[in-house]
Amino acid sequence: MVTRILVVDDEEDFRNLLVKRLNRKNFSATGAASGLEALDFLADRVFEVALIDLKMPGMEGLELLQRIKKNQSETEVVVLTGHGTTESAVEAMKLGAYDYLTKPVNLKELQVLLDKAVEKASLKRQNQGLKAALERENVADQRLIGTSRSIKQLKQLIGKVANSDSPVLVIGESGTGKELVSRALHYESHRTEAPFIVVNCGALPEQLMESELFGHEKGAFTGAQERKPGLVEMAEGGSLFLDEIGELPLGLQTKLLRFMENGEFRRVGDNRLRWVETRIIAATNSVLEQEIEAGNFREDLYYRLNVVKIAVPPLRERGEDVPLLVEHFMKKMALNKQMSSEALKELQKYHFPGNVRELRNLVERGILLSEGQYILSEDMFGCVQKKVTATTLTLKEVERNHIECILRRNNWNKKRTAEILGISVRNLYRKLENYEIEPE
């Protein structure tokens, strides 16, 4: 693939020389003498990188940068600045420039920087392509299903806050659809064309989480064989979804708070400050107020995240939505099967400690185990007691039985059980200790 570079500089000799040298380095470089001419080129074709001078007559570099970021967001921008204009260069970084160089330009340094900028542009395009493919394939999954009062209120709240840039904290039990709510916030906002990046805060070891979030430089630690942008950079202009935020280590909570305050961060192994603009959406099934009292979560980060709080209702509080959800899952999984009326009644009476995720698993199990056209109650429930309802057991007893059932079904594989329950392994171990569940 040919890498296209747009060189924008009003100094003709410098511009022509730079274009010539870049073309010798296997780039496809084009020169523009002004900001307006650059916009004409950008309207006709896609450039991976625009290399722009800050000081130009007519449209200056900062204005051109803003126009590029607004209309050609897939193009990375590297700015050129003369000595004594570092302040302007920093302002350019805040406006979305990838990096800056001072004149006169060192060609080797320029090539390294352009290679890195092209890498980021490529990652951004890949992400946009994947997002578009997922939207086409899973459009039905990108909406909240239900007509209950609680779901209607939830949709109304999402509609009110979607276009805000304020952080959102999504709370709710495991399996209620917190990520679905977060995606709805993103895709109903003005950020819908930008990336939606998911970070599972409980899935990575603490020593790798900082690198995953903020990126690292080559040689920053053992195994860091090349430079890697972090997920905050990949989410530029879009939304960063921090799932299981309660599992984030305390040291990283401090760095996340600083990032949320002003968009500043440093890659691991790099002393240079960088800026990224992205919206933070966090989710948890933990009670963060209790985690604060226990010393596991920073109070100041909690208040910064909790600008808007969205509580996702458990399925047991919206039983009238169960038939609609069953119909949705059946259409996706089995066009030649039907749910028997008796089985549907059992589902409507069931307490669903695993919420919507558990309902989906039950429907899938019923499809796999049913022998005829109709799915029966016994096809779905297996080791789960189908008569379990809110009136026969407490919620804690239901959850304990459910966890023990999933553990048995997976031969006490805790990692697989945690995945099915939608919680971290660390959270599962806490529940096993609280409920005194041990292998037989």
Round to whole Å and give the CA distance between 215 and 217.
7
Q: What is each CA distance from 366 to 111, 175, 410, in whole angstroms?
A: 58, 19, 18
Where, residue-wise, is CATH 3.40.50.300 in the chain?
Answer: 142-311
Euclidean distance between the first and the last CA atom of the chain, given in angstroms as a whole number: 59
- State the CB neighbour count (10 A cutoff) for residue 114: 24
198, 179 Cβ separation under 8 angstroms: yes
pLDDT at 20: 92
Which are the contacts of 229, defined by CB distance < 8 A and separation ≥ 6?
Answer: 119, 120, 123, 215, 267
Q: Which two tokens stand for residue 238?
A: 């879009």
Vertex 155 angle, CA 244 and 197, to 5°: 40
Which are the contacts of 255, defined by CB distance < 8 A and separation ≥ 6?
Answer: 210, 213, 214, 265
pLDDT at 208: 84
388, 373 Cβ separation under 8 angstroms: no
**pTM of the predicted structure, to 2 decimals:** 0.63
β-sheet bridge partners, residue 101: 80
Please list the ranges in the chain whose pLDDT falls under 70. 1, 83-86, 124-142, 334-335, 382-396, 398, 422, 440
356, 392 Cβ separation under 8 angstroms: no
Where, residue-wise, is CATH 3.40.50.2300 in the chain?
Answer: 3-129
Where, residue-wise, is CATH 1.10.8.60 in the chain?
Answer: 315-434
Round to whole Å and give the CA distance between 132 and 417.
31
Backbone angles phi, psi at 423, to 5 degrees: -130, 170
Backbone angles phi, psi at 136, to 5 degrees: -70, -40
- State the CB neighbour count (10 A cutoff) for residue 201: 23
- CATH match for 315-434 among 3.40.1170.60, 1.10.8.60, 1.10.357.10, 3.40.50.2300: 1.10.8.60
User: What is the CATH architecture of 142-311?
Assistant: 3-Layer(aba) Sandwich (3.40)
Q: What is the 3-state secondary structure (H, E, C) of the chain?
A: CCEEEEEECCCHHHHHHHHHHHHHCCEEEEEECCHHHHHHHHHHCCCCEEEEECCCCCCCHHHHHHHHHHHCCCCEEEEEECCCCHHHHHHHHHCCCCEEEECCCCHHHHHHHHHHHHHHHHHHHHHHHHHHHHHHHCHHHHCCCCCCHHHHHHHHHHHHHCCCCCCEEEECCCCCCHHHHHHHHHHCCCCCCCCEEEEECCCCCHHHHHHHHHEECCCCCCCCCCCEECHHHHCCCCEEEEECHHHCCHHHHHHHHHHHHHCEECCECCCCCEECCCEEEEEECCCHHHHHHCCCCCHHHHHHHCCEEEECCCHHHCHHHHHHHHHHHHHHHCCCCEECHHHHHHHHHCCCCCHHHHHHHHHHHHHHHCCCCEECHHHHHCCCCCCCCCCCCCHHHHHHHHHHHHHHHCCCCHHHHHHHHCCCHHHHHHHHHHCCCCCC
Residue 238: closest CA among 197, 188, 183: 197
pLDDT at 180: 93
Q: What is each CA distance from 220 to 227, 270, 271, 272, in whole angstroms?
A: 9, 8, 11, 13
> Is the peptide bond between 249 and the residue preceding it cis, with omega within 30 degrees of 0?
no
- CATH match for 3-129 among 3.30.930.10, 1.10.10.10, 3.30.70.890, 3.40.50.2300: 3.40.50.2300
